[in-house]
Amino acid sequence: MKYAIKEVILDTGIEDIRGKLEETGRAIAGCRERLMMLAAATPRAVEDAEGNPMDWDEHAQFQVNQILEDLAEALWDRRLAEIASESPDQVEEIPS
DSSP H helices, the chain, are: 17-40, 56-86
Whole domain around residue 58: which residue ranges? 2-94
pLDDT value at residue 52: 93
Question: With 80 as the cut, is the pLDDT of residue 15 above it?
Answer: no
Question: What's the start-to-end Cα distance of the chain, in Å?
Answer: 7
Task: Say how many domains are in the chain.
Answer: 1
Q: Which residues contact 19 (CB under 8 A, 6 or more apart)?
A: 12
Its pTM surpasses 0.75: no
List, for residues 36-88, the tens digit of each pLDDT value. Answer: 998 888 878 889 889 999 998 888 888 999 999 999 999 999 988 888 888 88
More confident call, 55 vs 96? 55
